[in-house]
Structures are given as C-alpha cells and as structure tokens.
C-alpha cells in the first residue's frame, strides 16, 4: 500500500517478507513516522500479540477487512500465472499482443506471465467486435475477475480472443502492423536509434503470424489464383484473334502478358 493510504489507528494485514505464501499478520498502526518509509505498528495476532515495532510501509499489504478478498484474488492470480507461463511461445505472444493493441486499447499488453489483465468491460468489447458468442470469462479455465473488476486471462485465452478479432477485423490488424513496421523502420534511421531495427527484427515472426491469423496469406493466394485465371483468359482471347486473322491484335495481347 502507499503511505498516503495508511491511516493511524486502523487495522491492516502485514507481511514480514514479500512472498505470496507468507501469512498476513493483523496489526494496528500506532504512528506514521514519515522517515525512510517506516511506521510504528502493534501486533494484534500472529505469534507475538502486543509487540510494537517499526516496519516499512511496503510491508503493510491490505486493510484487515479486505484480507479475505485479497487472499482469494492472490490465490487465483497465482494459479492463472502458473498456467499462463506454460502456454505459448515468443512469436505467438507477439502476434497476440499486436492484434490486441490493434483494437485500440493501450492497456491491452500482456503481463510478464503472458496474461491479459484488463477491465472486464474492455475485454468484452473486444470480444463483441470479434463476433464471439461465448463469455470472455470462459476463454480459459483459470481466468477470473478480481475484486476490482479486472479480468485476468491466461495466454491461451488471450490468443483465442486475438485470433477471433483478427478474423473479424483483418484490415484493422494489418493496418496496425504496417504502421508499426513503418514507424520502427523510420526511427531506426535516426542517429543513435539503430536498435529500433533490431527490435523490428525481433517482432518479425510475431507480425508474420498475426498477418496469417488475419487471413493475409489466404488473400494473397486468392489473388494469385485470380491472376492466373485472367492470364488464361487473355491467352484464349489471343488464340481466338489469331484464328480470326487478327494477328496484330493477338500479338499485342501476348506481349502484354509478358509485360512488354
């Protein structure tokens, strides 16, 4: 907690060490010293009730009345992080993050455990744009909404959301990636900024995968098929012209096919 949030005479849950499995000790804040982040507390529980000592502000974790909700969120977050850490690879994570950023919410970045943690309503909006019918809370068995209304979605769930969005709004995704590549490339040409080109190379695999999820490869394949069909039609037209004695017109079509 921040020092400004701690009130003298109120009860809080304190931890002796910064570890999730460390128990909360009920303490009463006696005095806010204001020097080096220390405050004076009295133990109300644990193994040393009545003990008074000076502790650091960062050891005060939560108000005592909120401890059950806090511990429940902490336990669920730990489960979700453990699940998410086992999922995905670098390219898939980059692709997922790029697609989610393309939706326009700057909070759509993945955490260090490759989780998506955003207000439930914000993720629901992305899900609606993606045309999803299932609740976004069901995208992963370890997903949960914490006491603040934040949906914590492990990576596999975030990837499902990103894939659906890319399929529903491919142009949004492709334009975003193109803009990012153009920006990084331009920055890299500025004096002392060559590292942006290295960064762009690191993102290349993820961007290629995001384009694939957005159907870019299918569109390219379809375009090639259409071009082949048009070439075939032009060749047939040139052949028909030759049979009709229009050799000059037929020759012009054949040269055009060869790019002359």
Mean pLDDT of the residues in the chain: 90
Look at residue 84 and tell me if it is in a domain: no
pLDDT tier for residue 1 given thresholds of 50, 70 and 90 = confident
Does residue 220 surpass a pLDDT of 60?
Answer: no
Whether 182 is in a domain gets the answer yes
Residue 160 covered by a domain: yes
Q: Same domain for 102 and 210?
A: yes
pLDDT tens for each residue of 166-197: 999 999 999 999 999 999 999 999 999 999 99
- Find the mean pLDDT for residues 218-232: 60
Residue-level pLDDT at 244: 85
Do residue 177 and residue 253 come from a single domain?
Answer: no
Burial zone of 208 (CB within 10 Å; 0-12 exposed, 13-18 middle, 19+ buried): middle
Is the predicted pLDDT of residue 240 greater than 90, yes or no?
no
Burial class (CB in 10 A: 0-12, 13-18, 19+), 207: buried
- Report whether pLDDT(224) > 70: no
CATH number for the domain spanning 38: value is: 2.30.30
Rg (CA), the chain: 30
> pLDDT tens-digit profile of 142-173?
999 999 999 999 999 999 999 999 999 999 99
Mean predicted confidence (pLDDT) in 196-218: 90
Q: Is residue 85 part of a domain?
A: no
User: Which range marks the domain in which residue 203 is found?
Assistant: 91-214
Tokens of 36: 């080096």
Residue 18 to residue 8: CA distance in whole angstroms? 22
Residue 126, judged by CB atoms within 10 A of its CB (0-12, 13-18, 19+), counts as buried
User: For the residues 113-124, what does the mean pLDDT come to?
Assistant: 96
> Does 78 map to a domain?
no
The answer to whether residue 40 scores a pLDDT higher than 90 is yes
Q: What is the DSSP secondary-structure string of 122-151?
A: HHHHHHHHTT--S-GGGSSTT-EE-TTSEE
Residues 6 or more apart in contact with residue 107 via CB below 8 angstroms: 118, 119, 122
pLDDT in tens, 52-73: 999 999 999 999 999 999 999 9
Is 238 found in the same domain as 197?
no
Specify if 201 maps to a domain: yes
Is the domain of 40 the same as that of 105?
Answer: no
Q: How far is CA 242 from CA 228, 235, 255, 259, 260, in A?
A: 21, 11, 14, 20, 19
In a domain, 208, yes or no: yes
> 206 and 164 in one domain?
yes
Domain identity same for 58 and 154: no
pLDDT mean over 128-136: 96
Q: Same domain, yes or no, for 133 and 168?
A: yes
**Same domain as 19, residue 66:** yes
In terms of domains, do 38 and 98 share one? Answer: no
Neighbours of 131 (CB within 10 A): 11
pLDDT at residue 50 in the model: 94
Nearest Cα residue to 251 out of 233, 242, 236: 242
In this structure, the answer to whether residues 152 and 170 fall within a common structural domain is yes
pLDDT at 35: 65
Q: Indicate whether 108 and 178 sit together in one domain.
A: yes
In a domain, 77, yes or no: no
Given 71, 100, 117, the domain boundary residue is 71
Per-residue pLDDT, 226: 60
How many domains are there within the chain? 3
Q: Are residues 199 and 166 in the same domain?
A: yes
């Amino acid at each position: 907690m921040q020092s400004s949030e701690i009130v003298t005479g109120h009860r809080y849950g304190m931890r002796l060490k910064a570890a999730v499995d460390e128990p909360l000790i009920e303490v009463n804040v006696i005095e806010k010293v204001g020097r080096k982040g220390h405050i004076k507390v009295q133990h109300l529980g644990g193994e040393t009730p009545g003990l008074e000592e000076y502790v650091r502000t960062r050891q005060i974790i939560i108000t005592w009345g909120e401890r059950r909700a806090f511990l429940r969120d902490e336990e669920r977050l730990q489960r979700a992080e453990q699940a998410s850490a086992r999922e995905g690879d670098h390219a898939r994570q980059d692709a997922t993050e790029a697609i989610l950023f393309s939706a326009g919410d700057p909070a759509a970045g993945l955490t260090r455990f490759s989780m998506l943690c955003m207000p439930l309503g914000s993720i629901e909006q992305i899900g609606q744009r993606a045309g999803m019918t299932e609740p976004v809370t069901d995208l992963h068995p370890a997903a949960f909404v914490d006491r603040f209304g934040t949906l914590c979605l492990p990576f596999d769930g975030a990837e499902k959301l990103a894939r659906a969005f890319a399929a529903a709004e491919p142009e949004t995704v492709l334009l975003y990636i193109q803009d990012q590549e153009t920006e990084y490339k331009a920055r890299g040409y500025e004096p002392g900024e060559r590292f942006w080109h290295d960064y762009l190379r690191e993102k290349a695999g993820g961007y290629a995968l995001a384009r694939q999820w957005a159907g870019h490869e299918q569109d390219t394949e379809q375009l090639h098929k259409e071009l082949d069909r048009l070439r075939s039609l032009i060749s047939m037209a040139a052949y028909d012209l030759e049979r009709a004695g229009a050799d000059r017109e037929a020759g012009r079509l054949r040269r055009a096919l060869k790019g002359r």
